[in-house]
Amino acid sequence: MPDLERVVLGVTGGIAAYKAAELIRLCKQHGAQVRVLMTSTATRFISPLTLGTLAESEVLIDLFPASETGLSGSWTQHVHLGRWAQLITIAPLTATTAARLAWGMADDMLTATVLSARCPVLLCPAMDEDMYRHPATQANLERLRGYGYYVLEPEYGPLASGLIGWGRLPEPETIFARMLELVRGDPRWQGRKVLVTAGPTIEPIDAVRFISNFSSGKMGFALAEQAAQRGARVVLITGPVQLPTPAGVERVDVRTAEEMFRLVQARSPEADVVIMSAAVADFTPLQTERGKIKKSRYSRGLTLRLRPTPDILAWLGEHRRPEQRLIGFALETENGESYALEKLHNKHLDAIVLNNPNEPGAGFGHDTNRVTVFFATGEAVHLPLQSKHRIADHLLDLIADRLL
Ligand code: CTP
Q: Answer yes or no: do 258 and 340 share one domain.
A: yes
CA of 182 to the centre of ligand 1 (A): 33
Amino acid identity for residue 318 in this structure: E
Q: Helix, strand, or coil here: 359?
A: coil
**Count of beta carbons in the 10 Å neighbourhood of residue 154:** 24
- What domain range includes position 358? 193-403
Check pocket membership of 257 for ligand 1, CB cut-off 6 A. yes
Q: Which residues of the chain have pLDDT under 70?
A: 1, 65-75
Amino acid at position 166, single letter: W
Does residue 203 share a domain with residue 168? no
Given ligand 1 and candidates 258, 276, 316, which is best to mutate, with the most ligand atoms within 8 Å of its CB?
Answer: 276
Do residue 21 and residue 124 come from a single domain?
yes
Domain count, the chain: 2
Question: Given this model, what pLDDT does residue 2 score?
Answer: 72
The CATH number of residue 390's host domain is 3.40.50.10300
The pTM for the full model equals 0.82
Model pLDDT, residue 64: 78
CA of 375 to the centre of ligand 1 (A): 17
Q: 333 in a domain, yes or no?
A: yes
Residues 321 and 241 grouped into a single domain: yes
Question: How far apart are the C-alpha atoms of 178 and 187, rounded to whole Å?
Answer: 13
Percent of the chain's residues with pLDDT above 90 = 82
Q: What pLDDT score was predicted for residue 137? A: 97
Ligand 1 centroid to residue 346 C-alpha, Å: 12
Give the domain-ending residue among 162, 184, 206. 184
Q: What is the pLDDT of residue 66?
A: 62
Domain endpoint, select from 184, 204, 230: 184
Position 1 in a domain: no
Residues 19 and 140 in one domain: yes
DSSP 279: B
For residue 66, being part of any structural domain is answered with yes
Residue-level pLDDT at 216:
94
CA distance 264 to 258: 10
The pLDDT value given to residue 252: 98
Which atom of ligand 1 approaches the CA of 264 most closely? 7
Q: Which tens digit of pLDDT belongs to each residue from 112-145?
A: 999 999 899 999 999 999 999 999 999 999 999 8
As a whole number of Å, the end-to-end CA separation of the chain is 20
Residue 20 lies in a domain: yes
Q: Distance between CA atoms of 217 and 198, rounded to whole angstroms? A: 5
Q: Indicate if 115 and 256 belong to the same structural domain.
A: no
213 classed as catalytic: yes
User: Which residue among 197, 215, 343, 355 is best mutated to probe the pocket of ligand 1, counting the most ligand atoms within 8 A of its Cβ?
Assistant: 343
* Contact in structure between 216 and 231 (CB atoms under 8 Å): no
